[in-house]
A = this chain, B = another copy of it.
Amino acid sequence: MNEQAVSHRKATKYPYFEEETSAEVVNARMGKDADPRLRQVMAAIVKHLHAAVKEIEPTHDEWLAAIKFLTDTGHMCTDWRQEFILLSDTLGVSMLVDTINNRRPNGATENTLLGPFYIPDAPIYESGANISLDGKGEPIVVRGTVADTDGKPVAGAKIDVWQANDDGFYDVQQKGVQPDMNLRGLFTADSEGKFWFRSAKPRYYPIPSDGPVGKLLDKMGRHPNRAAHLHMIVTAPGFEPVVTHIFTPDCPYLEEDAVFGVKESLIADFKHVDDPARAREFGFANPFWSVHWDFVLAPAKAGAAERTMFHVSRS
């Protein structure tokens, strides 16, 4: 009889899984020829993921619940519904990514989320136009300026505006119910950098909450409401585009925006105006609302301008 033992000696530094070195074991497995940025990203993901698991110490059932949640979230995604973006939004990740990519010089208008309801072909209006085509809600006059960080007016700057109507829906969510292009318009700043338009005071509305993310929010004791806001994208040649909101100061959800889009610098002073003569002048019922907003544009960063405009984040 001839018995030949087969045995094995470790050849690499982290060949086998151990709890203490778990992230290092996984990351040591990546190929040296893999794309350096992918290696960097995956190494960070694995490191922080393992740190989270070690802090949480999930039971097997909890791990399985997490797998099921991710699976349900994936199954909820269609061409018209992006539940993972909703998850990213409600956990503050979208806002963090937006903030990291849009650090501005002091004084320049801050960015916030683009949201899923932007469409690029809003009607082009002269200053003063009323974009509220359904006439719902409380009337508002919005006046403002666009300047650079030295206070010099940016003549010809484009102000692309959109918002939800008084029922809490954007036109694209209610095709056939709202007039097409309701509450959308593209305005141009004049030679002094000034613009103005008429609209309806925005109100809060819920993000879609009938999926796994809505259920999670509910379990976490959170509501799905976005603080009331006007959306604006302000662009001008040579300047960084600003994708931003103007928030009303009196919204009950201002401090609890479901997607963390509120920045203190983006809360405007809205004035409630009781003046029948001026209301008549604007074609408004009295009383009405008035807000003034000054945009400050930062100089363009090379290569950054196009990107922000053509990739829609959804919230």
Which positions in A face B, CB cutoff 8 Å?
1-8, 10-12, 15-19, 22-23, 25-26, 29-35, 38-42, 44-64, 67, 70-71, 73-75, 77, 82, 84-85, 88, 91-101, 103, 219-222, 248-250, 254-256, 260-264, 267, 269-275, 277-278, 290, 307-308, 311, 313
Contacts and interface: CB of A to CB of B under 8 A. Distances in A.
Contacts of A98: 60
B17 A99 contact: yes
A230 to B, nearest CB: 15
B39 A45 contact: no
B16 A264 contact: yes
A30 B187 CA distance: 40
B91 A46 contact: yes
Contacts of A92: 17, 22-23, 25-26, 46, 50
Contacts of A12: 255
A16, A50, A73, A101: which has the most chain B beta carbons within 10 Å? Answer: A16
A22 B221 contact: no
Nearest to A68: B84
A1 B308 CA distance: 42
Give the number of times this chain occurs in the complex, counting copies: 2
Given A7-B249, A75-B75, A255-B10, A97 B26 contact: no
A269 B6 CA distance: 6
A103 B18 CA distance: 11
A151 to B, nearest CB: 24
B71 A16 contact: no
A53 B94 CA distance: 10
A184 to B, nearest CB: 23
Nearest to A87: B70
B85 A67 contact: yes
Given A54-B96, A67-B85, A73-B74, 14 more contacts: A1-B278, A5-B270, A15-B254, A15-B262, A19-B103, A22-B99, A32-B221, A48-B55, A49-B91, A59-B307, A61-B311, A63-B97, A70-B84, A71-B82
A29 B222 contact: yes
Nearest to A9: B249
Contact of A270 (B6, B31, B274, B308): B6
Contacts of A16: 255, 260, 262-264
Given A8-B250, A44-B56, A99-B17, A1 B311 contact: no
Given A96-B54, A267-B8, A88 B63 contact: yes
Contacts of A55: 44, 48
Given A49-B93, A278-B1, A17 B263 contact: yes
